[in-house]
Amino acid sequence: MTGNGNQLTLERVPTGIPGLDKILCGGLLSGGVYVIQGVPGTGKTILANQICFSHVAAGGHVAFVTLLAESHTRMLQHLQPMSFYHEEAIPDHLYYVSGFRILESEGLKGIVDLLRREIKGHQAGLLVLDGFATTEESASSPREFKKFVHELQSHAAALECTVLLLTNGSTRAVSSEYTMVDGVIHLEDTLFEQRTERTLRVAKFRGSDFLDGRHPFRITSQGLEVFPRIETAFAVPSVRDVYCPRRQSTGVPTLDAILGGGILAETSNGLYGPTGIGKTTLGLQYVAQSEAAEPGAFFGFFESPERLRARAQTLGIGLAALERRGAVEVIWYPQGEHILDELGHRMIEAVRRRGVKRLFVDGYGALVESATNSGRMTRFVSTLSNELRALKATVIMSMESRNVFGTATELPDKGPSSLLEGLILMRYTELDGRIRRLVSVTKIRDSAFDPGLREFEITPRGIEIGPPIHGMEAVLSGFAREPKAAIPDSRAQGKHQED
């Protein structure tokens, strides 16, 4: 505790897991008793051990007491491949004991004594009790169990030792241990059709704010990596958004002219069009404008960095050279079962780490596919865009249209699209027995732009845009034609003007 006159402020005990510490607004509170609840296999033991080793790395001491849980030998064998595991921490800094036989012979009173002795004997600032449900089963009455939890809390507070109680136990929100302890963290493993997603939820955290709701996490050889839900983690951008309107080249001079001098910097933009139209090509031209002093990043899901480099080469873009001199970073997440929030955090981290000013995301569809609840995409894109803008990144995100030809020009998601400041539309059309590519700007918020349709080609120099198309109609239907002779109907003409 830190003293300020008579006022005592509880110190934070970081878990050492950045995402979890963010959710907990800095970590657990010293001397607090916290339940970590989850069915078998949800990661409780790994989480607790990861916190233990982090506490040791920060110079602390830990006692880990088990009751009818996995044997210590087996547990340590399972932990050995984890990067946080450091053998030299045991036994001087991290001490594992079993309390089960004491529980059997001396009951809950014996366990309280044991825990108190282990805290004092090892000068532990952190204590883990794995198998907490066994204590409830051993209690002769609910009253005895409450008394046990109360005594444990008193000792933890007096000895300034933070206690983690691991349990498979019930999720009854009114169960006595939940009402008495200082905090409850649920670990869950939810099935979404064929895939599962692990999530963590802080159900209670006395004396502190926390980020509520479910936050996805992953267990890897690094231990738990927690990704606080983007909408809560960046509800307010991490830095103050100071906006100074300026333009940024797209890498295609004619498109810059259409846009009124380039794309508006520090905005989020959609590049919408069917497969093969040239979205990735434009993305490559855009990030190729980056320099080490104003770096760019290509965050893609489809083409591997090797293929992207080869493709860039055909456009006269030396992507590998740009990467070598630190102007561009290519980040590739092969399409698979990703966690939406992980992708959001990776994007923000990539921008923050290098001060990225140009970010091309290829593409939005892969983000949607990673979402276990697509209903949150509008909120997700909105919050992510706010953060990236505040970090001074300009974002162009490719968005694939469902139809290659046809009259429908429906955007993939109306919500997210409406949040974007700019929208560039690419389309195919058929004319004279030839497929032609068209580009138009349909939206630039608070700025004038040329709304004309233009044909473009992909040449060895990249995208080359022609003059505005005149004398054609139904171009956006995908089947352009010469206009029919004017209909001498003044009413029809008048109606058209009103539209």
Partner 1 sequence: MRTVLVVDDEFGTVEVLVAALEDAGYRVLTAANGRRALERLEENKPDLVVSDFMMPLMDGAALVRAIRSNPQFRDIPVIMMSAAPEAALRKRLDGYEAFLRKPFRVPALLELIASLLNPPRSSSPR
Q: Which is nearer to partner 1, 91 or 460 (CB)?
A: 91
Task: Compute the least distance from the CB of residue 139 to partner 1, in Å.
Answer: 20
Closest CA to 298 of 327, 275, 325, 270: 327
Q: Which residues of 220-229 are buried (b: 16+ CB within 10 A; e: fewer)?
A: eeebbbbbbb
- For residue 291, list its beta bridge partners: 294
Task: Verify cis geometry, omega within 30 degrees of 0, for the bond prior to 415.
Answer: no
Q: Taking the complex as a whole, how short is the minimal distance between the CB of residue 80 and partner 1, in angstroms?
A: 10
Cβ 120 to partner 1, closest distance in Å? Answer: 12
Local structure of residue 92 (DSSP, 8 states):
T
Nearest distance, CB of residue 74 and partner 1, angstroms = 8
Cβ atoms of residues 23 and 215 within 8 Å: yes
Residues in Cβ contact with 411 at an 8 Å cutoff, skipping those fewer than 6 apart: 270, 272, 399, 417, 423
Query: Residue 127 forms beta bridges with which residues?
Result: 63, 163
Least distance (Å) from partner 1 to the CB of residue 161?
16
DSSP state of 448: -
Write down the residue that tokens 């290659």 correspond to.
Answer: 404
Q: Which pair of structure tokens corresponds to residue 98? A: 């079993």
Tell which phi-psi region holds residue 343, choosing left (phi > 0), alpha (psi between -120 and 50) or beta.
alpha
Question: What's the token pair of residue 322?
Answer: 């740009």
Q: Which is nearer to partner 1, 122 or 279 (CB)?
A: 122
Q: What are 26's two structure tokens? A: 């800095």
Q: Which residues bind partner 1 (CB under 8 A)?
A: 65-66, 71-74, 76-77, 87-88, 90-92, 95-102, 105, 114, 117-118
**What's the closest the beta carbon of residue 274 comes to partner 1, in angstroms?**
59
* Residue among 74 and 324 whose Cβ is closer to partner 1: 74
What is the number of other CB atoms lying within 10 angstroms of the CB of residue 385?
22
Least CB distance to partner 1 at residue 125 (A): 18
